[in-house]
Amino acid sequence: MPRISEKGLYMPASPIRKLVPYAEAAKRQGKTVHHLNIGQPDIFSPEIALNAVRNFAGKVVSYGHSAGNESYRKALAAYYCGLGTDVDYTQILVTTGGSEAILFAFMACFNPGDEVIIPEPFYANYWAYAYEAGVNVKPITSGIDNDFALPPIEAFERLITPKTKGIFISNPNNPTGYLYSKKELEQLAIIVKKYDLYLFSDEVYREFNYDKEPYTSALDLKGIEENVVLIDSVSKRYSMCGARVGAIISKNKDVIAFSLKFGQARLCPPFYGQIAAEAALQTPPEYFAKVFDEYDQRRKFMVQRLNQMEGVYCPMPKGAFYSLVRLPIDDSDKFAQWLLEKFDYEKHTVMVAPATGFYATLGLGKNEVRLAYVLNIKELEIALDCLERALKKYNA
């Protein structure tokens, strides 16, 4: 039998999805598995987007432009301008989800062996895209006791080598829920300018800013306009994860032009997804108000409930819909598997994402898990009751 590639062998498994076979086995045994492991919300997608797809009257599901439909790019640019971030449609390349935007951006901006600095814990798939593009990730640890704030800027500077070509942030952050302040971003901008780095800013959770603190997009930072590469997606904004529509937004013409070559090779972004995404831009404000309130209630409920448990610490996330939680456990991977394989309370159990997969530094995250508050409060309550009982049993 021919052998699999080394690239395939060493491709990191997703900490969010790698335990799926155990969850499936648990379900086959009749257990209800409450999924706190994945950012798949139960929130309905906007009706206006669903109707646009239902009412599509064309006769051919055709290829489109590799950069995405011009009408969608123009509408998305207008959306950003409405948020106060100046964007022109020529600065947008539509992609198959934010995932492809990250991969294309890495491919267009880095040579194999180049380095990207990422505050950890970070969204685990960054690791995978960097690996695919041959980019070395240099982590810089942000700590739970500091609510995962941006590490001191001197620590970033210490990591910069001749190979360093970029810094990558997610704002609000997945997995920590931290929202970077204008001051923190301006500090980053100083070193981005000084060393002429790319600043990749993943802003797919931009609208999920629960305390309504002023939001600074990396695109609004002065003096580094051509260094910034923004990652956009409809997955979370409209609870349309399956639409698979994202975008690279950059004022750097080369980033758009060279990413487009990767876009041409995959022909075009999804046809129906773009129809839904364009229509979703007309979603009435009441939809967002309701969704926002729902997440905010879940956030407060989950954090309060977790902090009542013995030995558990959960900082209050300001954005996105995740918390990185410290648990009284020694090995989050083992614990997550044990929850699915060995534990149930009245036939219920929970699936969590072990935090080890969100850290690049070996050994970190062993007593932490990421929880996504994507379930309604009633289900969250059952899931968290299960978790509390599980912790007692695991430690007994």
142/233 with CB nearer ligand PLP = 233
| Smaller CB separation from ligand PLP, 99 or 367 | 99
Cβ-closest position to ligand PLP: 97
CB of residue 68 to ligand PLP, shortest distance in Å: 14
Q: In whole angstroms, how far apart are CA 121 and each of 40, 86, 170, 244?
A: 20, 30, 11, 25
Phi/psi of residue 190, nearest 5 degrees: -60, -45
Size of the site for ligand PLP (CB under 6 A): 13
CB of 97 to ligand PLP, least distance (A): 3
> Considering the rule CB under 6 A, would residue 269 count as an interface residue with ligand PLP?
no
Only segment of 94-102, 112-120, 140-148, 281-289 that touches ligand PLP (CB under 6 A): 94-102
The tokens 């609004």 sit on which residue?
220
- Least Cβ distance, residue 209 to ligand PLP (angstroms): 14
Q: How far is CA 250 from CA 19, 87, 220, in A?
A: 36, 8, 11
Site for ligand PLP in 312-371 (CB under 6 A): none
Residues 33 to 72 in contact with ligand PLP, rule: CB under 6 A = 39
DSSP E strand stretches across 113-176? 115-120, 136-141, 164-170
Q: Which is nearer to ligand PLP, 355 or 390 (CB)?
A: 355
Q: Considering beta carbons, is residue 281 or 386 the nearer one to ligand PLP?
A: 281
**Binding range to ligand PLP, per CB under 6 A, among 21-29, 145-153, 233-241, 281-289:** 233-241
| Residue 97 vs 269, nearer CB to ligand PLP | 97
Return the residues of window 186-205 that contact ligand PLP according to CB under 6 A. Answer: 202, 204
Phi and psi at residue 175, to the nearest 5°:
-100, 0
Q: What does the DSSP assignment read for 158-211?
A: HH--TTEEEEEEESS-TTT-----HHHHHHHHHHHHHTT-EEEEE-TTTT-BTT
CB of 14 to ligand PLP, least distance (A): 10
CA distance 307 to 33: 22
Q: Which stretch binds ligand PLP (CB under 6 A): 95-103, 146-154, 206-214, 283-291?
A: 95-103
Q: What's the full length of the chain, in residues?
A: 396
State which of positions 120-179 bind ligand PLP (CB under 6 A): 123, 170, 174
The distance of closest approach from Cβ of residue 370 to ligand PLP in the complex, given in angstroms and rounded to an integer, is 10
Report yes or no: 221 and 203 within 8 Å, Cβ to Cβ: no
Cβ contact 394:316 at 8 Å: no
Q: Give the shortest CB-194-to-ligand PLP separation in angstroms.
A: 26
Question: Closest by alpha carbon to 178, among 322, 318, 359?
Answer: 318
Q: Compute the distance between CA of residue 236 and CA of residue 16 in angstroms, rounded to an integer.
A: 16
Chain Cα centroid distance, residue 118 = 13
Residue 82 belongs to what H/E stretch? helix 70-82
Q: Is 246 in the site for ligand PLP (CB under 6 A)?
A: yes
Positions that interact with ligand PLP (CB under 6 A): 39, 97-99, 123, 170, 174, 202, 204, 233, 235, 241, 246
